[in-house]
Copies of this chain bind each other. A is one copy, B any other.
């Protein structure tokens, strides 16, 4: 395997790094037009259109919209049919993810000023959330837990899952995870038509307030288009890992951590930063040796050769600077005393500290969410969390005395902006 070697000592390092990181989702105008037509059609014709698209795209012989819903007994049966080890692992993961996310729960707050004026925020859960789950090979039960459990912890009233079942094939692990996570209703629909049904509602599928979950290019384009009608989570790019290693971790471990990102798909990005040149060479040798054992070796090879890199850095300080420039989705600090480097890390979706913390532990069961900002968006966004399923309303209760004091300020500023009704509205309350 031929993984790119770079060094910050190279004079053109910055431009090489830019090229390595360059990724821009191409906007496909034809796809976008197709999606727009599907959205408009489902919005207008509701269930009739939804059934048509499901017959066409998923080759399902459905003619009755009620048949699109999976009854709870089907989910329960999927859960009870799991091998004991899988069932136990799912349950333990769900318990840990729930416990972690409970720490994120925000509560209403207020304070009262000396003149009796009360200020604060009322924090409430969303009423109804839609969870998109892809069909086929990219359907991950862990993703069902990671998207559904924060919504449940937030207290979302109703959680609606959509999952396409092309040719009628269902994924038992996904349905079992839906049961475990407390999903309220499941519809076997997918693609842009499922996003339309969730955003606008049909006679069968209730309208939701926010849509979360991963999907293909059609789903992503549909989510972008309904943004504003409903809330959406991020539209994710290819997955990435950046490993900073001081050279003291087993090179096999680091090579496998790079693989675990690369095996997701050919566009995934895995990069190592190390001040130890010999260690980088050892990791490359480990990768060569370990690759053959991997069932997804061709995906791993393609990802690492096209988008991977082993980068020599001057020291760990420089590694932190480069990491902040990349703002990686996953960052492993596989170094001695990793906590000391935390204050230097400004942008990362999740930080995995110390040599025992493989990214895969975080993907499944450590507790934190595995839905993370990609493509450098950790500069301004956060992991999916309970806070994505709560919203705030400002609270303002002005006392009679407060209305006098605040009214004088508001009147001056309103007149300065030429808004006389604002000024008069404040003035009416001033003499009271």
Contacts and interface: CB of A to CB of B under 8 A. Distances in A.
Interface of A: 25, 85-86, 88-90, 92-93, 100, 103-104, 109, 111, 117-122, 124, 126-127, 137, 140-142, 173, 209-210, 228, 230-231, 235, 250, 252-253, 256-257, 259-260, 262-264, 290, 293-296, 300, 331, 338-339, 342, 345-369, 372, 375, 377-383, 385, 387, 391-400, 402-403, 406-410, 412-414, 416-426, 428-429, 432
Contact of A260 (B352, B397, B419): B419
A255 to B, nearest CB: 9
30 contacts: A86-B412, A88-B412, A103-B109, A121-B368, A121-B383, A124-B347, A228-B377, A231-B381, A250-B428, A253-B428, A256-B421, A257-B425, A290-B424, A293-B424, A331-B393, A342-B395, A350-B393, A350-B396, A352-B396, A358-B426, A358-B428, A358-B429, A361-B396, A361-B407, A361-B429, A363-B410, A364-B422, A379-B391, A382-B392, A383-B393
The binding surface of chain A is classed by DSSP as: mixed
Given A127-B346, A421-B259, A425-B260, A360 B394 contact: no
Contacts of A417: 140-142, 173
Among A349, A367, A409, the one with the most B-chain Cβ atoms within 10 Å of its Cβ is A409
A256 B425 contact: yes
A139 B354 CA distance: 51
B397 A339 contact: yes
A124 B380 CA distance: 10
B392 A385 contact: yes
A392 B383 contact: yes
A263 B423 CA distance: 11
A398 B349 contact: no
A382 B400 CA distance: 28
Contacts of A387: 387
B353 A397 contact: yes
B357 A425 contact: no
A356 B355 CA distance: 60
A260 B142 contact: no
Contacts of A346: 124, 127
A372 B394 contact: yes
Among A86, A122, A290, the one with the most B-chain Cβ atoms within 10 Å of its Cβ is A122
Contacts of A264: 419
Contact of A406 (B348, B351, B365, B391): B365
B380 A391 contact: yes
A389 B101 CA distance: 21
B356 A210 contact: no
Contacts of A137: 418
Given A356-B402, A414-B364, A209 B391 contact: no
A409 B93 contact: yes
Contacts of A295: 418, 420
B396 A357 contact: yes
Nearest to A324: B127
A25 to B, nearest CB: 8
Contact of A89 (B124, B231, B263, B412): B412
A210 to B, nearest CB: 5
A421 B173 contact: no
Nearest to A373: B391
B351 A398 contact: no
Given A117-B366, A209-B380, A421 B93 contact: no
A359 B391 contact: no
A430 B360 CA distance: 12
A397 B354 contact: yes
A137 B418 CA distance: 9
A323 to B, nearest CB: 11
Contacts of A421: 256, 259-260, 262-263, 294, 296, 300, 360
Given A103-B111, A351-B393, 12 more contacts: A93-B413, A100-B119, A256-B425, A259-B425, A293-B424, A295-B420, A296-B420, A360-B426, A362-B396, A380-B391, A381-B391, A383-B394
